[in-house]
Structure 1
Amino acid sequence: MSAPGAPAADGPRRRVAVVTGASGGVGRGIAVACGAAGWEVWIAARRAAASAAVADEVTAAGGLGRAWPCDVTDPAAVAGLVDAVDRAHGRLDALVHNATSGLSARSAPAAEISVAELAEHVAVAVTGLRRLAVAAHPLLRRSGGSVLVTTSEAGFEGKWLLPAYAAAKAAQRGLARVLAREWGPDGIRVNCVAPLADSPAMARAFAGDPAMRERVLGRNPLGRLGDPVADVGAVAEFLISPAARFVTGQTLMADGGSCPIA
């Protein structure tokens, strides 16, 4: 794993991405898939040891992994992350906001969710997205880069017993579409991906609501959860890559057909 802030091994031709919440689960899958496509990936997350392990996976896959401690609810931490990328490269090709609240798997009716709990979801998913995107905007404009938000089918249809999570994910999509319109003239694309993947968060959700597995897989035509790297990471890498250079303001469902949208 390269030291944070050190020059990239093969110079400016390697595309550079920041992936938040990438110390496990879907974020890890996106980071490793980007590594396999040759990206330099900054693993921006709170768990230092897990982030370092994912950075090593990115490098082993063929990219360059960097672990960088970051809590997206902390303005100073976000500013430090963006400044480090700026000092290392002077540009950023992609910002992937995957970080979610640690309460995301909590299962409870809407009437039992406190205002403080809802605020915590918003602080990570929505305010964190806005803070990161605005801070990174100059670097993204410089590179003609993109923003990708990991949202959820819950943001389209609501989710029984996941009210705060569903509300935050719906708000993310609204903000992403606004940014796509506002920042398109700057050459910046903004999209969302809505995955249904095997992850620690999904495992916790299933454990908290034993009937949830049957509900989730029972409506999925492919009958399985997606692989974070092969099924979700590859889609995310496409959306931030030049191959999707004319795609913006969209949400791509990488969920095995679980939640078709028209």
Structure 2
Amino acid sequence: MFNKKKKLQKLVARKLVTSVSPRSIISEQFRTVRTNINFSLPSKELKTLLFTSSSIGEGKSTSAANVAIVFAQEGKKVLLVDADLRKPTMHYTFEKSNTPGLTNLLTGHWHINEVVKESGINGLHLITCGPIPSNPAELLGSSSMDIFIKEIKERYDMIIFDAPPALSVSDAQILSNKCDGTILVISSGKTEKKNAVKAKEALQTSKANIIGTILNNYKLEKNHYYYQFYG
């Protein structure tokens, strides 16, 4: 039991590197991401940001969590929303209960104040997925989602959504149309070029405002660190 707990703690530390190791080269890269996001739309306020990828396992959820943390470290009031209603992970990452969460709110059973959780990081709040629904795309495209986004925009400086991969289901396309900006996460050496292009085209079809990409798991030959950057 002790070894299992230690293993979980190490996994969380690796995922939330910007909180656990803020001076690391990876954390610095996430701060670079933050800077580039701030400068991506200088003439327009960017409050809602969607993270997606072409396929599973490319690091979109980890990237979303760490970008949310560095924005909170900057002094912003940040909300991180697990909008992957098919395979949620944020409750594992932050070691929180998955319920109540976003699906409870969208189905009208709970109020926003009842589903927002403390993340354990100053300035960052969390809304987990909640019970996995039978109709995720319909929930994300509902008027309840529009009302939710309008309300949280009034409460927070930055809202970050973690969405499912763009090529797997339509959820990311639906939600990207509702957000101010979208970031596509690409895993170095894993993401196939054709899939990245298809994901970009799918998002553009839904009129997503793709403000950039994050190249994940890029290996530096000199010191073998893995880091991420925005471009």
Greater fraction of residues in helix = 1
Greater fraction of residues in strand = 2
| TM-score, normalised by the number of residues in structure 1 | 0.41
| TM-score, normalised by the number of residues in structure 2 | 0.46
